[in-house]
Amino acid sequence: MELQRLGQTDDGGQAGAHADGVVKAVGRYRPFILAGGALMCLTMILRFSVPPFGTTGKIVYYAVAFALFSMAFTMCCVPWQASVSLLTADYHGRNLLLTVRSMSGAVVNAVIGVTVLKSVARLGGDAVGWRNYTAVLWVLGLPCVYLCQRELRRIDHAGAYPPPVKRPAATQFLGVLRNRPAMCLGGAMLIAALAQSMAGNCAMYYYQYVLEDTSVLQATSVYSMPISVFAALCTPLILHKIEKRRLVVIAYAVSMVRPALLIMLGGSISIPLATALVVVSRLGTVLLNTAIMAWIPECVDWANWKEGLAPAGLINAAITFMQKLGRSLGQWMAGLLMGVVGFDAAEAITERILRQILNINGLYQAIFLTLALAPIFLFPISHHKAEEIRNELARRDAPDQET
């Protein structure tokens, strides 16, 4: 009955949360994971292909390709994230699952960072090389998507869930807006993603124009992988000892080391120190994102506790949307800030542009990371409260289990 309670939902099938309100013969989440993964494969290759169109045609082509990729990403990843709430209701078990996810992502990102430039060159170079490299990644990645959805059969299959309760779309989304934990988490995720994306989009400018050494990128990818994996492995152990809120604050402090030193030292940073600071920053990012994402199951439990329904897909979709919105805003803001100072890659780099690059990586990132803490302190679920909610939900199911 616990699985049925966790799977029960009022979602009627909107956007990435559509999986919540659909009961398929082969499961509720698995079809979306598999179809979304296949579409991600296709659209990623399209994104790195150059069509024989004029300027207007290419703008339309890439707008459609990016929109389809975003839809496919949501279709695949939101049900996958939501499945954590179904796999276990155990506090530490959920932390372990989310840690494995973060650790896997850190390893893959580091491997890609180390191999991408050489691989692109060997696969044809320039646009052809990028397209071929992307195709190779998806030849390796698509079987992983298939195996993931296949192994979810034990919890996501025909008859695993009661029929979904249909409610108007407006009612569903108002329910998420009333979910204070989800809104706090979404706000923190949006602002943190904005800060990370803004600095990330100007990172290459920092290496190229301030440090005048782009080899830092490859070096940090090599060093970041073991540190990121170590951080992800340690997260469940840390969460055995401290609350998630405290881990977020610690992660924030680690993330602030690089921007704080950039504010104090400006461009007078040695290459070894710059490399070390990037590695420390990535460590903070892994801890911060893992700790924030680890709270999502508590948001689902809160909805179940308050309304008797657990829209895992809709809540994951809302928080994922906030994260993607933050990344998009970060990219836009980085471009806007660089445009304000007259940046043009074809023109000479002025002192004003160098100062702006430092500000984006230092001062502005520090400001937004600080703002991201506000929703964290407003998050209403402490470790004790989460345990209280889980116990209450277990008591609700007790009569059903006896029958």
Query: Whole-angstrom Cα distance, residue 285 to residue 154?
Result: 33
**123-131: Cβ within 8 A, 24+ apart:** 127/48, 127/49, 127/50, 130/48, 131/45, 131/48, 131/49
The reply to whether 389 falls in a domain is no
Residue with token string 């279709």: 75
The reply to whether 385 falls in a domain is no
Q: How far is CA 209 from CA 6, 219, 332, 336, 349, in A?
A: 52, 17, 21, 18, 8
Q: What confidence score (pLDDT) does residue 83 get? A: 74
Query: Whole-angstrom Cα distance, residue 9 to residue 11?
Result: 6
At 7, is the secondary structure helix, strand, or coil? helix
Question: What total of structural domains would you count in the chain?
Answer: 1
Q: What confidence score (pLDDT) does residue 4 get? A: 36
Query: Whole-angstrom Cα distance, residue 233 to residue 98?
Result: 10
CATH of the domain at 24: 1.20.1250.20
Range of the domain at 332: 2-378
Q: What confidence score (pLDDT) does residue 6 get? A: 38
- Tens of pLDDT along the chain (403 residues) come to 333 333 333 333 343 445 444 545 567 778 888 888 889 888 888 888 888 888 888 889 988 988 888 888 888 887 777 777 667 766 667 666 766 776 677 677 767 767 777 888 888 888 788 888 888 888 888 888 888 888 787 777 666 555 555 666 666 677 778 888 999 999 999 999 999 899 888 888 888 888 888 777 767 766 766 776 777 677 777 777 788 888 888 889 999 999 999 999 887 888 888 888 888 888 888 788 777 877 888 888 888 888 777 677 778 778 888 888 898 899 899 989 998 998 887 788 899 999 999 999 999 999 999 999 999 989 998 888 888 888 888 887 665 544 4
The reply to whether 398 falls in a domain is no
Q: What confidence score (pLDDT) does residue 359 get? A: 93
Query: Whole-angstrom Cα distance, residue 297 to residue 287?
Result: 17
Q: What confidence score (pLDDT) does residue 187 get? A: 93
Count of all residues that appear for the chain in the document = 403
Q: What confidence score (pLDDT) does residue 184 get? A: 92
In this prediction the pTM is 0.69
Residue with token string 């289990």: 401
Query: Whole-angstrom Cα distance, residue 363 to residue 175?
Result: 37
Query: Whole-angstrom Cα distance, residue 115 to residue 113?
Result: 6
Query: Whole-angstrom Cα distance, residue 69 to residue 41?
Result: 9
At 172, is the secondary structure helix, strand, or coil? helix
The reply to whether 387 falls in a domain is no
The reply to whether 399 falls in a domain is no
* Max CA distance (Å), the chain: 77
Q: How far is CA 394 from CA 83, 164, 303, 311, in A?
A: 19, 21, 15, 18
Residue with token string 């703008």: 59
**What's the alpha-carbon Rg for the chain, to the nearest Å?**
22
The reply to whether 97 falls in a domain is yes
The reply to whether 391 falls in a domain is no
Query: Whole-angstrom Cα distance, residue 249 to residue 233?
Result: 19
Q: What confidence score (pLDDT) does residue 403 get? A: 44
CB 251 within 8 A of CB 288: yes
Which one-letter DSSP state was computed for residue 15?
G
Q: What confidence score (pLDDT) does residue 396 get? A: 79
The reply to whether 136 falls in a domain is yes
